[in-house]
Structure 1
């Protein structure tokens, strides 16, 4: 059996002038260079919407590359009985409340135990769909709501709705630093030239448009609880944008930096708890959209995860113990 894959990314400045097959191997490390070269020669790879069949074709910064191909199901896409919290389901789509720690789909070094494996078990027909109907991602250690398509028409309509910003996605996050007002971060994002697993804010023209709106929900001594709304859905968008404005997410292993800020008067227990929080404090709390087939207005919410709720309780306790340090 085969599995349809759809891949897309943008050529960053560090890949400018590279061969197409080499650039794709760096951008999509889950697939071998020989496999990618084969797809190029079969016309399954496009550059700026134009098929390219010569693997040594040089690529240019800013070009959009896509791969649409099928791979053999050699165990890579096995169905597994993984518990999934499905809060809504009909013949077209389902809404899943994903826990932190669950990878969305298989990749290099993670061939099983993913959300995709669980979807294939729950709904075997999803094997016929691109990425088993997964139309958007959450990072492994981000918890909360996702929509998954159950038919090819649903895949196409949901992807189009997301690209047109017709799907409302709101998140809650706990960030470092005391923020005084909400705002908007409107900064392009692209792959980091220093670290291929990271994204970064890029100069105009060298990254994809990325817009994040945020407002304050709760203030603490040296942290802030935020509600964020995405206009776009770039990889690591919230994490990158918050780090860019010097308010990285608590626990973020990539963007928060290695040093935890020392807070005056904080107990050792508080400092240890916050500095060792095991994942980025980010939860997808709201998902709203018009049903792509019935036209019904759909709205789903998810309670903040237990670990973030505990983090908030720790921050509140510290704040109450040091009221003189709060600037409202």
Structure 2
């Protein structure tokens, strides 16, 4: 059970919600084998049958801020903000290894058609951990809580860029490190992807207000960070 979808922001035009891990924003051809209720279905049930229209999306395994329109006619106004790069999105990720300095990753990402498109992400370390658990080939394991800001919005961009700099995101079975993923599952008890859209901010295209929507971490994040802190050397 996913439980109640947390509503973070609401006005007469849009809804900002905290999407849980492992929930599709909506069903599509690409996820035709997934039968669990989507975010749109869960919200419709929760909101007395009201329908909403996605403005942006997150990967199924990623949690955090998703914007939804109350009317289909509003969607294009808000999506234009994303197209013009006028939406600031701040993610946090738990990655393998120690990232010690802020950096900008400028590396193309392949799209669904197999073409490479320019992609830029900014990263900044927030906290590092070293724990006394060996993970092949090292006698201890190092991790960084990382802030990630996508300048462009390519599919899987942050996950690919984290892998590109040899600091893959924990729980990422496509682009990650299987040894660290296995340790988190078997020793610490965490199977989810550690990528969370923490904040989305923009100027409202109708009201012209500056809007900042913040999403609390899922509970397992807090539990994991506490464990890492307790185990730290």
Q: Flag whether TM exceeds 0.5 (same fold).
A: yes
- Partners of 1:215 and 1:226 within 8 A in 2: yes
- Which structure 2 residues correspond to residues 1-328 of structure 1 after superposition, within 5 A? 83-107=4-28, 108-121=32-45, 122=47, 126=51, 132-191=52-111, 206-221=115-130, 222-260=142-180, 272-274=186-188, 277-319=190-232, 322=233
Q: CA deviation at 1:124?
A: 5.1
Q: Secondary structure at the match of 1:243?
A: helix
Q: Aligned-pair RMSD on alpha carbons?
A: 2.5
CA separation in 2, counterparts of 1:229 and 1:179?
A: 15
SS state at 1:313 partner:
helix
Query: Which structure has more RCO (C-alpha within 8 Å, separation ≥ 6)?
Result: 2
Instruction: Return closer, same or farther for 1:113/1:175 CA change in 2, 3 Å cut-off.
Output: same
Secondary structure of 1:141's partner? coil
Distance 1:307 1:246 in 2: 24
* Higher Rg of the two aligned structures: 1
Cα distance in 2 for partners of 1:314, 1:280 equals 16
Please report how far the alpha carbon of residue 171 of structure 1 lies from its aligned counterpart in structure 2 after TM superposition.
0.7
Listed as ranges, the gaps of 5+ residues in structure 2 are 131-141
TM-score (norm 1): 0.60
How many residues are treated as equivalent by the alignment? 216
Alpha carbons 2:172, 2:181 under 8 Å: kept: no
Superposed CA deviations along residues 254-274 of structure 1, whole A, max 9, x for unmatched, are: 111323399xxxxxx978335
Against the structure 1 CA distance between its residues 270 and 98, is the aligned structure 2 distance closer, same or farther, given a 3 Å change threshold?
Answer: closer
Deviations 1:195-252 (A, max 9, x none): xxxxxxx9xxx41221111101001121000111111121111111001110001111
The 3-state SS of whatever aligns with 1:289 is: strand
Deviating 4+ runs (over 4 angstroms): none
SS at match of 1:260: helix
Q: Which runs of 5+ in 1 are unaligned?
A: 1-81, 127-131, 194-201, 263-268, 323-328
Is the contact between residue 171 and residue 228 of structure 1 (CA under 8 Å) also seen in structure 2?
yes
TM-score, normalised to structure 2, is 0.83
